[in-house]
Amino acid sequence: MNTPGSSQAHWRKSTHSGGDEGECVEVSDLNGHIGVRDSKDPDAGHLTLTRWGFADLLARLRP
């Protein structure tokens, strides 16, 4: 798979992350895949999902 490293990617904080509560998730477009990482520890790595997998994850997380 040819995806950019997390240092090359443009990460953005999720609009659903809490303000000062420490529950921050960042997402990035990784050449057609979606990267998800913890903004408090960006060097710990990230989860890479297909767009379909990311959509499925969001659907399962919605209340």
Instruction: Tell me the one-letter amino acid at 58.
Output: L
Instruction: Please report the pLDDT score of residue 61 as a whole number.
Output: 86
| DSSP one-letter code for 17 | S
When pLDDT is cut at 50, 70 and 90, the band that residue 1 belongs to is very low
Alpha-carbon distance values, 60 to 40, 47, 51, 55 (Å): 24, 16, 14, 9
Report which of 59, 4, 44, 61 is spatially closest to residue 28, judged by C-alpha positions.
Answer: 4
User: Given a cut of 80, is residue 56 above it in pLDDT?
Assistant: yes
- In this predicted model, what pLDDT tens digit does every residue of 11-54 receive, in sequence order? 998 676 666 666 788 999 999 999 999 988 989 999 999 999 99
Q: Confidence class of residue 63 from pLDDT cuts 50, 70 and 90?
A: confident
Six-digit token pair at 23? Answer: 């529950």
